[in-house]
Amino acid sequence: MLINVITPEIQELINSHDWKSLKEVLPGLEPVDTSDLIRSVSSTEDRVIIFRLLPRDLAADVFSEMDWDLQEDILSGMNNTQIRQILTELEPDDRTRFFEECPSEVTRKLIEFLPVDERKKTLELLGYPEYSVGRLMTPNYVAIKKNWTIQRAMDHIRKVGKNVENFDIVYVIDTQWKLLDAIELRSLILGDEEATVESIMDNSYVSLSAFEDQEKAVHYFEHYGLPILPVVDSEGVLLGSITFDDILEIAKEEATEDFHKTASVSPLETPYMQTKVLDFFKKRVGWLVALIFVNIISGFAMAHFEELIQAVTALVFFIPLIIDSGGNAGAQSSAMIIRAFATGEVHLKQWWEVVLKDLLVSMMLGISMGFAVSFLGIYRGGILMGLSVALSMAAVVVAGSFLGTILPFILRVFKLDPATASSPLITSMADILGVIFFFSISQAIMGL
Burial of 16 (0-12, 13-18, 19+ CB in 10 A): exposed
Banded pLDDT at 344 (limits 50, 70, 90): confident
Q: Which of helix, strand or coil describes residue 82?
A: helix
Distance CA(346)–CA(336), nearest Å, equals: 10
Query: pLDDT (tens digit, 9 = 90+) per residue, 309-319?
Result: 787 788 888 98
Q: What is the mean pLDDT of the chain?
A: 86
Which CATH number describes the domain made up of 143-249?
A: 3.10.580.10
| Averaged pLDDT for residues 329-333 | 90
Give the up-direction half-sphere exposure of residue 367: CA atoms within 13 A in the CB hemisphere: 5
pTM here is: 0.64
Q: Which of helix, strand or coil describes residue 416?
A: coil
Q: Which of 246, 255, 214 has its CA nearest to residue 228? A: 246
| β-bridge partners, 144 | 172
Q: Where in the chain is the domain with CATH 1.25.60.10?
A: 2-130
Distance CA(310)–CA(308), nearest Å, equals: 5
Q: Where in the chain is the domain with CATH 3.10.580.10?
A: 143-249
Q: Where in the chain is the domain with CATH 1.10.357.20?
A: 272-446
The b-or-e profile of 176-191 (16+ CB within 10 A means b, else e) is eeebbbbbebeebeeb
Is the pLDDT at 393 greater than 90? The verdict is yes
In angstroms, the Cα distances linking 299 to 53, 131, 398, 431, 435 are 64, 42, 22, 10, 9
Q: Which CATH class is domain 2-130?
A: mainly alpha
- CB-CB neighbours of 140 under 10 Å: 17
How does DSSP assign 114-150, residue by residue? S-HHHHHHHHHHHTSPTTBGGGT-BS---EEETTSBH
Query: pLDDT (tens digit, 9 = 90+) per residue, 10-68?
Result: 778 777 877 788 888 888 888 888 888 888 887 888 888 889 888 887 898 999 889 88
Query: Which CATH superfamily includes the segment(s) 272-446?
Result: SLC41 divalent cation transporters, integral membrane domain (1.10.357.20)
Query: pLDDT (tens digit, 9 = 90+) per residue, 80-120?
Result: 888 898 999 898 888 998 888 888 888 888 998 899 889 99
Query: pLDDT (tens digit, 9 = 90+) per residue, 196-217?
Result: 999 999 888 899 999 998 888 8
Give the model's pLDDT for residue 97: 86
